[in-house]
Chains A and B, each alone.
Chain A
Amino acid sequence: MERLTNDYLLRGMEIKLEENLDQNFGKKISEMAHGEKLFGCIQCGNCSAACPMSIYMDYTPRKIIAMVRAGFRHEVLSNRTVWLCASCYQCTVECPKGIKITDVMYALKREAIENKIHLKNFPVPILAKAFFTEVRQRGRISEAYLLIRYYLNYNIFKMLGYSSLGLKLFLKGRLSLFEKGMKNKKNLQSLLQQKPN
């Protein structure tokens, strides 16, 4: 890969030769997001304007779509941007072309995790994985266990910052370690062990 320019307009955007791009990336993501019309995007930027997170992102949602279509696979999947999507669906509602952008973001998250190229030691995918494991093991989420699992995998010391809030909630009877679980947890677990066709 060769960096050709530091132009302000292209800041944060790598310049790549066409032969180094993943030409099938856009199609694959489009399929993963239920055949969404990624290629119909007119780059109007309504999504970026509506997104409450875009000010914190490296690439705005509009840019992400352009990059996905062009085949900037590694840049998109290893970046933190997709993990900033909080699934508020503002972009999906505002898109004049009916692209389900939130679902595109989900597809990118899954593709990154599956290929293990997501940002490591970034808290959002760590929480997602902790949540995933908790559901598989317990069938229901107990917030106390979820947060303990998350902080053990992320950074146990960060938990200290929440200890006084946790204690307050516990004393008010709002945080419990003994919630009623599922009766037939095994049914759900066997369902989740099966591989989809």
Chain B
Amino acid sequence: MKYLYYPGCSLKSSGKLYEDSLIAVFKTLGIELQELEDWNCCGATNYMSINEHHAISITARNLALAEKQGGGELIAPCAACYMGLLKTQNYLENDAKLKEEVVNLLSKEGLTPEKNIKVRHPLDVLVNDVGMDAIRKAATKPLGNIKVACYYGCQLIRPFAVFDNAHDPQSMDKISRALGAEPIEWPIKTRCCSGSMTSTLTHIGLSMNFELLKEAKLRGADVIVTACPLCQFNLECFQGKISRKFHEDVKIPVMYFTQLMGLAFGHSKKVLGLNKMLSPDLTLA
């Protein structure tokens, strides 16, 4: 299987470990990712706060590039990019005036925004195209009953909820089970991590991440897995600050679900980037 792949900015910088582990794991499963050429930032949440037409246009540009470079299905691993692409398609479909403006803007570059591109998240592909049997088969080193807190955050499943339930998503839980691990009951798994507020309104940002980390630990998790570069960064990199601020040890391994899969598939920690983590190491029995 081969898919077009839109990495987005994070997977090329602080979320590089997500990209590395995703490519390694998909390779094991026989999936090739062809990176979209000349892609631009999706605008995330910030761009939308300043200029909506341009925010929609730059994302429409990525969709148009995808159409030009083979079309079909486009994989977007970052939750913000994924949601942005879906939102853009949704707006272009429902707002004729906006669509006309975007078509005009893009035509200057010889591009046409197409709605035929099917936007996919890697979790969607794993659950619906690859299937649990194939994942179970590839897991040559099953994880042996470690307890996993699957953290879905916001934009992966909201507001569109294409491949999973918006209130009680299960895709990462299913994958964890297929890897031989045990997902814990963790009702706040869709609660917001505060996004970039860890750098703007620090007190609020750190409090929200404190709640998430504390709850995961209370419920006996050995590791938290995420599917969003910002969630992962917040939960992993601020553990020191949070522990000091709230006088409580919240240190726990936080990794991408692809890194956890890679461990079970027998990839080295180096390939998965697990030697570059700031959160504690996950000890496997």
Contact = CB atoms under 8 A, between A and B. Distances in A.
A127 B199 contact: yes
Given A169-B237, A175-B13, A128 B50 contact: yes
B154 A88 contact: yes
Interface string B43-80: 11111111111100110010000000000000000000
Contact of B154 (A87, A150, A190): A87
A123 B13 contact: no
Contacts of B104: 196-197
A110 B201 contact: no
Interface stretch (A22-30, A37-45, A135-143): A135-143
Contacts, number: 167
A194 B197 CA distance: 31
Interface stretch (B93-101, B169-177, B213-221, B254-262): B93-101
Interface string B172-208: 0000000000000000001110111101111010001
A160 interface: no
A182 B41 CA distance: 10
Contact of B41 (A56, A141, A161): A141
By CB atoms of chain A within 10 A, which of B43, B94, B154 has the most?
Answer: B154
A109 B94 CA distance: 22
A90 B49 contact: no
B278 interface: yes
Contacts of A196: 53-54, 101, 104-105
Interface in B4-60: 9-10, 12-14, 16-17, 37-41, 43-54, 57-58
Given A135-B43, A175-B14, A182-B38, A89 B159 contact: yes
Given A87-B154, A169-B237, A139 B40 contact: yes
A176 B101 CA distance: 36
A158 to B, nearest CB: 9
B141 interface: no
Interface residues of B, number: 65
B247 interface: no
A141 B15 CA distance: 12
Interface of A is mostly: helix
Interface string A88-102: 111011000000101
Nearest to A183: B38
Given A52-B192, A194-B105, A113 B49 contact: yes
B47 to A, nearest CB: 6
Size band of the interface chain A makes with B: 35 or more
B109 interface: yes
A175 B166 CA distance: 33
Interface string A122-140: 0111111101100100011
17 contacts: A53-B192, A87-B48, A88-B192, A89-B158, A93-B158, A128-B46, A132-B47, A139-B40, A141-B10, A142-B13, A162-B199, A165-B238, A175-B13, A191-B61, A192-B58, A194-B105, A197-B101
Interface of B: 9-10, 12-14, 16-17, 37-41, 43-54, 57-58, 61, 91, 94-95, 100-101, 104-106, 108-109, 153-155, 158-159, 161, 166-167, 190-192, 194-197, 199-202, 204, 208, 237-238, 240-241, 276-278
Given A89-B158, A140-B9, 17 more contacts: A34-B95, A53-B204, A86-B192, A89-B159, A123-B199, A127-B196, A127-B200, A128-B46, A132-B47, A135-B41, A169-B14, A169-B278, A174-B276, A188-B61, A190-B108, A191-B108, A192-B58
Interface of A: 32, 34, 52-53, 56, 84, 86-90, 92-93, 100, 102, 106, 109-110, 113, 123-129, 131-132, 135, 139-144, 147, 150, 161-162, 165, 168-169, 172-176, 179-180, 182-184, 187-188, 190-192, 194, 196-197
